[in-house]
Amino acid sequence: MIPDTLRQLVDATDGQREADWQGRRLLLINADWGELAISLQGAQVLHFLPFAPEAGRAAGARPATGTEDGWLWVTPTPQPMPGAIRGGIPLCWPWFADESPDGKGPMHGPARTAAWRVEAVDDSVSGSGVEIHLSPEQRLHDQLVPNAVVHANGQRLSVELMTRHTGTTPVKLTGALHTYFAVADTHQCRVEGLAGARYLDKLEHFAEHHQQGELGIRGSLDRIYQSNRPVILDDGQRRLAISKQGSDSTVVWHPGDDLPSDTPATAGMRFLCVETACTRVDPVWLVPDGQHLLSTTIGREATSA
Ligand SMILES: O=P(O)(O)OC[C@H]1O[C@H](O)[C@H](O)[C@@H](O)[C@@H]1O
């Protein structure tokens, strides 16, 4: 689910172009393999719709209008600059939530509101698709340097957030690929693959629990699962496989009825955040010349033929 204004920009794109949306520069791609939109504020993927063949649909043919509008959700309320966009895949870096070193930094770090530039767009990648390299326009940390790579094709989307240590003293790093998935109905969702995992419940002052059975979403939740395993997000209509690297935390978040002011009730039950993260339970200590790769890959669940 994406705002009509973003849908119109994607529809008006043939191939690849840049355009302005809500005061932000976007990279838009509408190709034979699918659709992709990235905001250069935050290097944030806002939209992805692959055209992989499904039963009854020819290879490379776009889904019938109205049957599917992408795997990611973006709030329909315009987000004033220079604030963050709620939706898509915000890059939370170099800390997750309020875990800045002095406790005073912006929620989820400065990367998601910073200006990034496209370093390269490679559409010669195997399997027909695109690989986009992005870097921040300004330094965001005195010792750490991030860059992002987005891979998209007719089957899957992946986002890689690489951090390199260019300084002289060890640095603690947390962060997240804070994915807002578009779902048919939040309360019909199941997240499979977390059964038995230990989690910290942020709604209970980080009380520790273990997940009993598979996770069904019934109301508000804000949990840090200690897990490096892939999960399946099933909303009753679509099963997406979410795998990851460099992450021992999976954050599952939805505010329930207590929606943020930028999220109208009609849109509020159409998303679920399942986040590939490094948090207080698995911070990364980066040493000089070290690097860390946080990545997620999202595809349809593989079905046995
Ligand atoms: O509103 P935001 O700054 O984008 O944060 C949205 C949410 O992100 C994460 O999932 C945190 O676990 C939540 O506690 C937070 O409310």
Tell me if residue 79 falls in helix, strand or coil. coil
Task: Tell the residue nearest (CA) to atom 3 of ligand 1.
Answer: 107
Determine the distance separating the centroid of ligand 1 and the alpha carbon of 83, expressed in angstroms: 14
Residue that the structure tokens 């355009």 belong to = 19
For residue 280 and ligand 1, the question of a CB distance below 6 A is answered with: no
Given a contact cutoff of 8 angstroms between Cβ atoms, the answer to whether 59 and 53 are in contact is yes
- The 10s digit of each residue's pLDDT in 84-130 is 999 999 999 999 999 999 989 999 999 999 999 999 999 887 668 99
Q: Please determine, for the modelled complex, whether the ipTM score is greater than 0.95.
A: yes
For residue 251 and ligand 1, the question of a CB distance below 6 A is answered with: yes
Pocket test for ligand 1, best of 86, 222, 254, 272 (most atoms within 8 A of CB): 222
Question: pLDDT value at position 69?
Answer: 82
Domain ranges in the chain? Answer: 77-300
More confident residue, 81 or 125: 81
- Fold (CATH) for 77-300: Beta-galactosidase; Chain A, domain 5 (2.70.98)
Q: How far apart are CA 256 and CA 253, in angstroms?
A: 9
Q: How far apart are CA 240 and CA 248, in angstroms?
A: 20
Determine the distance separating the centroid of ligand 1 and the alpha carbon of 6, expressed in angstroms: 23
Determine the distance separating the centroid of ligand 1 and the alpha carbon of 105, expressed in angstroms: 14
Does residue 152 have a pLDDT over 50?
Answer: yes
Question: pLDDT value at position 264?
Answer: 95
The rounded radius of gyration (Å) of the Cα atoms in the chain is: 18
Residue that the structure tokens 């099933």 belong to = 234
